[in-house]
A = this chain, B = another copy of it.
Amino acid sequence: MGKSGGMWMAFFRGRYLHSLDAKGRVAIPQRFRESLGGGDEALRLVMTVDPEGCLVVYPEAVWQELEGKWHSLPQMNDELKTYLRFMVGWASDGALDRQGRILVPPPLREYAGLEHDVWFVGVLQNFEIWNGDRLEKATGRDRVRSVTQKLSGLF
C-alpha cells in the first residue's frame, strides 16, 4: 500500500497520533518513512517551524531545493531576511534513529506546544507535527468550508 505501486508519487498523506516520550523522541509514522528517502539508507530530514504554530518536516532533498531557491534570489531585502531568520533560524537537521524516531529539540518542542500526544499530518511534499488543540483549530470545518469555496475555482 502506497509503497511499491510503481508510479505512485512519494507524497505524504494522512494523519497519525503518536507520542513524544520523556526523552523528547517521537516515532515517524512508517508510511512517512517510506516517502522520506530512497531505499533503506540515510533517511535524513530537516525540521523547522510554521507560522501557524506547528513544526514542518522536509526530506533533506526537498529542503535543499528550497535553500537553493532562497540562495539564488536576486536581492536580499528586509522581508526576505525576516523570512530566512524564521525558516532557517529554526531549522534543525537530523536523521532517524534505528527505531525510526527523531529527537525534537527543546526549542522546537516549545514553539509548537508539543506535550505527550502529537499529530503527524501529511501535506504532499512535507509533513507537519501538531499539538492536538492547535490542529483542531487550524482544520475546523468552518474554516475549511470557506477556504474550499475560494479555491474551488482552481480545480
The chain A residues found within 8 Å of chain B, CB to CB, are 1-2, 5, 8-9, 11-17, 42, 44, 46, 51-53, 60, 64, 66-67, 69-71, 73, 75, 79-86, 88-95, 105, 107, 121-125, 128, 138-139, 141, 143-145, 147-148, 150-151, 154-155
CB within 8 A of A5: which of B42, B53, B83? B42
CB-defined contacts of A92 to chain B, threshold 8 Å: 13-14
**Would you give the shortest CB distance from A50 to chain B, in whole angstroms?**
8
A15 contacts B82, C-beta separation under 8 Å = no
B14 contacts A151, C-beta separation under 8 Å = no
How many identical subunits does the complex contain? 2
**Would you give the shortest CB distance from A146 to chain B, in whole angstroms?**
9
Cα distance A94–B98 in the bound complex, in angstroms: 26
Cα distance A150–B9 in the bound complex, in angstroms: 31
Cα distance A130–B71 in the bound complex, in angstroms: 22
A89 contacts B15, C-beta separation under 8 Å = yes
CB-defined contacts of A124 to chain B, threshold 8 Å: 67, 70-71, 75, 84, 88
A1 contacts B123, C-beta separation under 8 Å = no
Name which of A46, A84, A124 has the most chain B CB atoms within 10 A of its CB: A124
CB within 8 A of A138: which of B1, B85, B148? B85
